[in-house]
Structure 1
Amino acid sequence: MSIAMVNRPPVAIYREEQWFSRWIYAALAGVVAVTIGYFARTYDPAIGLGGWSRFREWPLLVAIGLSLPPMLVVGLLKMTTEVHPGDLRLWFGLLPTYRHVVPLAEIRAVEPVRYRPMADCGGWGIRRCRNGERVFTARGDRAVRVTLQDGSTLLIGSQRPEELARTLEQAVRNLP
């Protein structure tokens, strides 16, 4: 047996990737377009490049600088959920910008649920609901509520919550 096979990480028994809803990307693009449109309308071509030295275009530069990074982050952002033989892994981003790992031994119960993202938690992403529940979600109103041994709960957004719940229950039962 080769060394590469011995050191290979365990294969995920469940994997789900979710992109944020298209309307979120459209809203961010709208904000950028309105911002650029506003400052382009106030641009004075008579000043030309010399206007930079008079700080006339700095508001445009600041607006673009503040608008584009969130658009790029959300545009590249996706949520990935994986269940491995020993843990539940969540991360956001093509290159993971945020990771959360839950050992399966810490899971006491799981149940598929529906929730109201805006009303209950203030939207999608990495959140904390009014009841203190931690939320990891990218789209939709379906999730799996994971109750941990210490009594805290996680709400994990999923487009396939029944399958995720079944996989987690089975993986927890199969722990050594």
Structure 2
Amino acid sequence: MSTVATMRPAATVFHEEQYFDWRVYAFIALVELAAGVGMFWLTRQWGPVASLLSRKGSVEFVVGLIPTVAMPFLLVFGLLRMTTVVTPTELRVWFGWVPVYRRAVQVSGIVRHQVVEYRPIADYGGWGVRAGRDGERVLNARGNRGVRLELADGTRLLIGSQRPEELAETIEAARRPDVV
């Protein structure tokens, strides 16, 4: 009789998805609008719009249109979403629907953790993947609360969360040896 070994993924004990503040999306829309107005103005300066539109099947038109249309979608769907997952052995954070940036930390490597309130713009220059003046890495999407981790190698990591108390409790439970 043979046995088949399977690797089951660890059960998720905490899951949080955060989207960036509406102002980020409004900023992207304004940049797109400004780019569109700029393109319209340039076509009026360098030739009539009708001549540009008459070449709408041309390679140049398509190559110019793809980044203009695709860039906002890539930003909004590719980056502007932060997911935090805690399993009994690991804490993972990633940005985007298709993870463009990922960070994984073994729960056993977390020496200390605490719920904190911080100033995203003043302390770290905004939201996203950031570094503080003291080298602390920050992963946040919105708000001003999170869980600061001190890792066994001496590095510090701040995970932004809309539910920091629950995240801290989950990390504490995962650090206990009786949790499997």
Output the TM-score relative to the length of structure 2.
Answer: 0.81
CA contact (8 A) 1:114 1:143 kept: yes
Q: Does 1:73 align with 2:74?
A: yes
Q: Name 2:141's counterpart in structure 1.
A: 138
Q: Which residue of 1 aligns with 2:98?
A: 95
| Separation of aligned partners in 2, 1:38 and 1:93 | 29
The runs of 5 or more residues in structure 2 that have no matched partner are: none
CA distance in 2, matches of 1:136, 1:50: 43
Match of 1:37 in 2: 37
**Scaled by the length of structure 1, what TM-score is found?**
0.83
Residue of structure 1 equivalent to 2:24: 24
Shift of 1:74: 2.8
C-alpha contact 2:43 2:52 (8 A) present in aligned 1: no
Deviations along 1:10-42, one digit per CA (max 9) or x if unpaired, are 110101000111110110110110121122134
**CA shift for structure 1 position 66:** 6.8
> Could you tell me whether the CA contact under 8 Å between 1:82 and 1:89 is conserved in 2?
yes
SS in 1 for 2:26: helix
- Which letter maps to 1:29? A
- Cα offset for 1:150? 2.0
Q: CA-to-partner distance for each residue in 1:92-126, whole Å, 9 max, x for gaps?
A: 11111121110111100111111111111111111
- Gaps spanning 5+ residues in structure 1: where? none
Cα distance change of structure 1 residues 113 and 12 upon mapping to structure 2, 3 Å threshold: same
Separation of aligned partners in 1, 2:53 and 2:8: 59
Question: Number of paired residues?
Answer: 166
Counterpart-to-counterpart distance in 2, 1:33 and 1:49: 19
